[in-house]
Structure 1
């Protein structure tokens, strides 16, 4: 008999594990988190928190808490490319949707805004909420192995304080143990790609850089200097952790050679090198070496064991997709575990987790690594094959200032190269156009809608089954809320309009909440936006899962609405009649 028992055991306390624990406890599912570390993350690492993740946190009641701690959108995106912070600027790009036209797209897509929430601030929010809602956290507890059978999983762990080993019995286990996941290894998840594609270092430091940054507020400052094309993430980077005194540098090294000796002197020299002013006092907080990876799992599940986060998608920080995808993995799985454990859904529902999230993991791994390669266009525009010769680097930069046809061509190429980095910093479609295909989605016979604009750069709202529910502002009792606010909360929601009242009787006895939108209905379509976005008639319906994904829709009222919606819900829950 196991020493400890629970419904779900979570290995790892990072963004994926913390979010899974928080969501499971929100849904009332008993769970335990084990982490071999003595504390949560003490470095900023992941930081960009996109709209979809903020929607997840909104549904979980944590959005306001995160907004209060995060750097807001308007301070994130006046991003320069320069020779150093104090040196010459080559150009700027509006990033994180701060260009006026992209800001409009951003506001129309979601009730939530992107922000910069460093990991060492995000993890305590998730963990604190998880503990307050019922999660048992066990620090300094190292996962060693697992053994699963038809009824559950028995994990062996070691208490690193006492030194003894004991077992935890769970009905399901989640491996959220990072980029060198032992859980993923133990269950033999098939991996595609390569670890250690390039070498990189992080240097966390404190310095008052207001003079060089506050007039162009940004999360990222890209620096082209000697050595900036070696390893790393495409170019030297000075990242703002907290305006304008906490910073993190990303700098590369040749992964085929020895990693640098990360002394304080070395770190300070690199910091002054990128700042471009060695009179600025710099306090080094930490330095660490890491590798750029290009690896993803083809499936996320083996029996009763699931993996999420960096355990199954390992990639550089480009595009800011890491912690976002991890938290969204947890959002996809948590409600499914809850319904299966409650006996509402068949265990087969859990198969949809891997079917839905594994393609997303592959997409973001490829996108993040492609963004590194696209940085070379900046070097090419300046006529640089390498940055080994600082004098040549300076001459090539200066050449663009000449009144010659060649210089004019160079200036145009540089503008286009910087503009092309929209595919790293403004990929609204990558973040919000994630479409699911699985047994937990009931197709309606229509093809996946085509985006009239670039599918990576631009969000395309649709109620196509497998897409995220579109955001529209609706009203009730002089209050405004999002369509996303009437969904979520661990429940299925059926949205209909005037003439759709028969759907209310149709779902009687089912775990579904019905909401009507229209004149005299539960909510008013105050701007007419929902009518434009819903893609069904007034008496039709859109059935939304607990993760605010559309799983079924009917364009109009069928002859047998009860039989229709019951058949759809039965398919989603894996309980076909």
Structure 2
């Protein structure tokens, strides 16, 4: 029997990010995924600034941005009857890629087929073990851990793994969630799609590249959607179908090629490269935790792909959970800390589910300007209320905008800092430990923090230059304790006290 502290089931964004973040925290982990390789389908192309902000201190931001270079000239969303007909631009073509007032992260277009290999390489470099071509057939949780029965799909060999915790990142139809009997109240399947990748030279037709094209008549329902691909002359297409009258098996290669030519609007050479089916649905698991098993990504929540919130939320789920698992497994926190994962991430999922349904309906309907989602607030303004912070947490999940004043439950306000002549964002400091940020004159607080195991201290305005002199405006406290995921846990004024700080940390960790 193989033993591991954490078994991760599923190798999409949620699973790979979990493996990466856990390994980065020093937690040995094993990932099992039934697929042998990443998909060629160009899914989940939007990397939002919060996700890139998370990748930055791990040294991955530049690699991810490089993966997005094929999409560097794309902007806006276009609607048309076919690609050769007039395009109606329904979203701002000049939406900003950078938000320097709010974050060092950026908007980046890099699809899943190019980002997943980056995460695979990074997770392995940090020490994670990844078993592809391996299916999880069942799990058996008990009071002390989970026994999982896996199978190598190439050899048929069974493998038994014993883990202290399992992260179920096995997607929309999560077998683990179903085995545990975790319901998704009100689950709605909105649309069913067949997606496929074609190879075609469209250089004489597509002279300006959109983020994607909605093709068809909005009065009767869009015929399909089309997007570029990281590979030259490759294009992704999604066609909706009615499961009451047909199935994915009805979409033969010939039918897909004919549909591609209709969407393009011209009879030209087209080659089919790959094909898959999927369901656009909305549903949130009633629980994100069942004892030693925690759900992440599509296993926990699913909603339409508007604003690319699904894939980014999967990464952010993993980021929220990884430091908590690391603290529990290291004996620094009690198991009760893991309850705050659901307390923090499920309310966000509930809000985003409603917003993305309405946003997607607006996009594909006759009035795209009715989109209710403010993407910047949805991305950078998520707020938590849980027992993993000291002080009353903010409500609701989203305020009127991105909150830029440090208080418990809020993403730490952005600062541009100078570290040894290099300009960094404040979130570059947060990744593997609690961080006590101290303002000018905070040397005594910093000295107190250095006496507390698991806390790193930084002096803003001294050791780190406050480039835009925003500390007083955005933090304005003697000391602010920030969690490894970049959220404020506690803020204080007054006499520095190492014992007081240690007690705060114990309370946050439920130690």
TM-score normalised according to structure 2 size: 0.93
Counterpart mapping for 1:312-461 below 5 A: 312-375=300-363, 377-378=365-366, 417-421=367-371, 423=372, 427-443=375-391, 451=399, 455=400, 458-461=401-404
Count of equivalent residues: 509
Determine helix, strand or coil for the equivalent of 1:94: coil
Distance in 2 of aligned mates of 1:475 and 1:268: 54
Counterpart mapping for 1:99-248 below 5 A: 99=95, 102=96, 106-215=99-208, 217-225=209-217, 229=221, 236-242=224-230, 245-248=233-236
- CA gap 1:448/1:301 in 2 versus in 1, 3 angstroms: closer
Q: Does 1:562 align with 2:498?
A: yes
Distance in 2 of aligned mates of 1:340 and 1:445: 23
Question: In the alignment, which of 520, 532, 536 is matched to residue 473 of structure 2?
Answer: 532
Determine helix, strand or coil for the equivalent of 2:314: helix
Q: What runs of 5+ residues in structure 2 fail to find an aligned partner?
A: none
Determine helix, strand or coil for the equivalent of 2:235: strand
Counterpart mapping for 1:28-107 below 5 A: 28-71=26-69, 75-94=73-92, 98-99=94-95, 102=96, 106-107=99-100
Determine helix, strand or coil for the equivalent of 2:205: helix
Distance in 1 of aligned mates of 2:354 and 2:485: 25
Determine helix, strand or coil for the equivalent of 1:489: coil
- CA gap 1:21/1:525 in 2 versus in 1, 3 angstroms: same
RMSD, aligned CA:
2.4
Question: In the alignment, which of 433, 440, 448 is matched to residue 491 of structure 1?
Answer: 433
Would the aligned equivalents of 2:305 and 2:360 in 1 still touch at CA under 8 Å?
no
How far did residue 573 of structure 1 move? 0.8
Would the aligned equivalents of 1:75 and 1:219 in 2 still touch at CA under 8 Å?
no
- CA gap 1:350/1:71 in 2 versus in 1, 3 angstroms: same
Distance in 1 of aligned mates of 2:325 and 2:419: 33
Would the aligned equivalents of 1:228 and 1:236 in 2 still touch at CA under 8 Å?
no
Partner of 2:480: 542
- CA gap 1:286/1:570 in 2 versus in 1, 3 angstroms: same
Partner of 1:264: 253
Distance in 1 of aligned mates of 2:61 and 2:369: 32
Distance in 2 of aligned mates of 1:221 and 1:39: 28
Distance in 2 of aligned mates of 1:503 and 1:206: 60
Q: Deviations over 1:246-269 (max 9, x none)?
A: 211122122322136212221122
Would the aligned equivalents of 2:385 and 2:394 in 1 still touch at CA under 8 Å?
no
Determine helix, strand or coil for the equivalent of 2:186: strand
How far did residue 277 of structure 1 move? 2.0
Q: What runs of 5+ residues in structure 1 fail to find an aligned partner?
A: 379-416
Question: In the alignment, which of 427, 430, 443 is matched to residue 501 of structure 1?
Answer: 443
How far did residue 283 of structure 1 move? 1.7
How far did residue 569 of structure 1 move? 1.2
- CA gap 1:460/1:377 in 2 versus in 1, 3 angstroms: farther
Q: Deviations over 1:438-488 (max 9, x none)?
A: 11011158877984xxx4xx53433221111122211133221111112x2
Distance in 2 of aligned mates of 1:122 and 1:495: 32
Distance in 2 of aligned mates of 1:198 and 1:27: 39
Distance in 2 of aligned mates of 1:141 and 1:56: 29
Would the aligned equivalents of 2:168 and 2:299 in 1 still touch at CA under 8 Å?
yes
**More displaced 10-residue stretch of structure 1: 348-357 or 142-151:** 142-151
TM-score normalised according to structure 1 size: 0.83
Distance in 2 of aligned mates of 1:361 and 1:310: 11
Distance in 1 of aligned mates of 2:421 and 2:37: 45
Structure having the higher Rg: 1
Distance in 1 of aligned mates of 2:114 and 2:263: 26
Distance in 2 of aligned mates of 1:329 and 1:19: 9
Distance in 2 of aligned mates of 1:109 and 1:326: 22
Distance in 1 of aligned mates of 2:111 and 2:158: 34
Partner of 1:462: 405
Determine helix, strand or coil for the equivalent of 2:171: coil
How far did residue 367 of structure 1 move? 2.1
Distance in 1 of aligned mates of 2:91 and 2:196: 24
How far did residue 206 of structure 1 move? 1.8
Question: In the alignment, which of 256, 265, 268 is matched to residue 276 of structure 1?
Answer: 265
Would the aligned equivalents of 2:72 and 2:109 in 1 still touch at CA under 8 Å?
no
How far did residue 200 of structure 1 move? 1.7
Determine helix, strand or coil for the equivalent of 2:283: strand
Would the aligned equivalents of 1:156 and 1:167 in 2 still touch at CA under 8 Å?
yes
Distance in 2 of aligned mates of 1:370 and 1:418: 10
Distance in 1 of aligned mates of 2:217 and 2:395: 48
Distance in 2 of aligned mates of 1:38 and 1:225: 39
